[in-house]
Amino acid sequence: MRSVYPITAPTVNRAFDTAGSATYNRRCGIAPRPTGGERQAHVKGVILAGGLGSRLAPLTKITNKHLLPVYNKPMIYYPIEALVDAGIDEIMIVTGGSHAGDFLRLLGNGAEFNLRDLRYAYQEGEGGIADALRLAENFIVNDRFVVILGDNIVEKSIRAHVDRFRAQARGARILLKEVPDPQRFGVARLDGDRVAEIIEKPQQPPSAYAVTGIYMYDPQVFGFIRGLAPSKRGELEITDVNNAYLRLGELEHDILDGWWTDAGTFPSLYRATQLIHEKLFGA
């Protein structure tokens, strides 16, 4: 059974219709909002913090990897703070495994972060990023949202990127980062300043620009997810979702400023701790 647990009273869901496109609204199943002046879309946040964390065993035998310390804070604090800094105060955390209750004990109702609404969803098994994401559909309803993988940490604010996403007419936005080992990630094939294709973990990367674990979507993403077939890994791949937006011509991108790392292995967890220390106190 997959469940969503509201920790605060549900908030009123705001209709999303910034461009006045009747075709787009019908595709998303969104009722048009009365006109009365242009306004930016309401944006929520989703943090994906599931998985078994097997690459960090035996630490993950006693807790979820996203609750492990990265310098002076639990790992999960960093994506929460990134969303709050971007002006987002309604967040869902999707988690799973036998330590899911540890999030509630640590975060409670989100008051420490001045959140208006903090919710939790439980993912059974490991079906991939897109599988975890679809558990947020009843939380998102007709709003746009920013997704962050729970082990991703960035040096600088993502607020400018989120503001551009708020202002764009429709579709999705991804953040790219030039990396020395792009074959570990989804990689963008670029055509000038346009993303032409995203390839999942290619042996011969078409560029050095990896797709970071920060994604921004409108509500039609859930329709794309329902249409996905599992990959050879048996998972619903987020790269397939992003390519669906590309085919519609509705995928925007930015280049992420500052460093970006995950913390899902012992080397990257150590590196993340070093980077946070250097950010706080200098090299």
Whether the predicted pLDDT of 30 surpasses 60: no
β-partners of residue 254 are: 175
Strand-pair category, 117-123 with 90-96:
parallel
- Cα separation, 170 vs 166, in Å, equals 9
pTM score, two decimals?
0.85
- Cα separation, 140 vs 222, in Å, equals 10
Mean pLDDT, the chain, integer: 87
The number of distinct structural domains making up the chain is 1
* pLDDT digits 0-9 by tens, 129-171: 999 999 999 999 999 999 999 999 999 999 999 999 999 999 9
185, 117 Cβ separation under 8 angstroms: no
Query: Is residue 37 classed as helix, strand or coil in its secondary structure?
Result: coil
144, part of any domain: yes
* pLDDT digits 0-9 by tens, 31-67: 343 333 445 789 999 999 998 888 999 999 999 999 9
Which of 169, 141, 137 is closest to 17 using CA atoms? Answer: 169
Total residue count of the chain as it appears in this document: 283
Residue 219 confidence class, pLDDT cut points 50, 70, 90: very high
Distance set, CA 196 to CA 188, 199, 251 (Å): 7, 10, 10
14, part of any domain: no
276, part of any domain: yes
Query: Is residue 256 classed as helix, strand or coil in its secondary structure?
Result: coil
Look up the CATH number of the domain holding residue 68.
Answer: 3.90.550.10
Residue 196 confidence class, pLDDT cut points 50, 70, 90: very high
- Cα separation, 93 vs 166, in Å, equals 21
Q: What is the 3-state secondary structure (H, E, C) of 117-129?
A: EEEEEEECCCCCH
37, part of any domain: no
100, part of any domain: yes
126, part of any domain: yes
Which of 10, 278, 4 is closest to 135 using CA atoms? Answer: 4
Backbone phi, psi, residue 215, to 5°: -130, 145
Q: Which residue type occupies 145? A: F
Query: Is residue 63 classed as helix, strand or coil in its secondary structure?
Result: coil
202, part of any domain: yes
46, part of any domain: yes
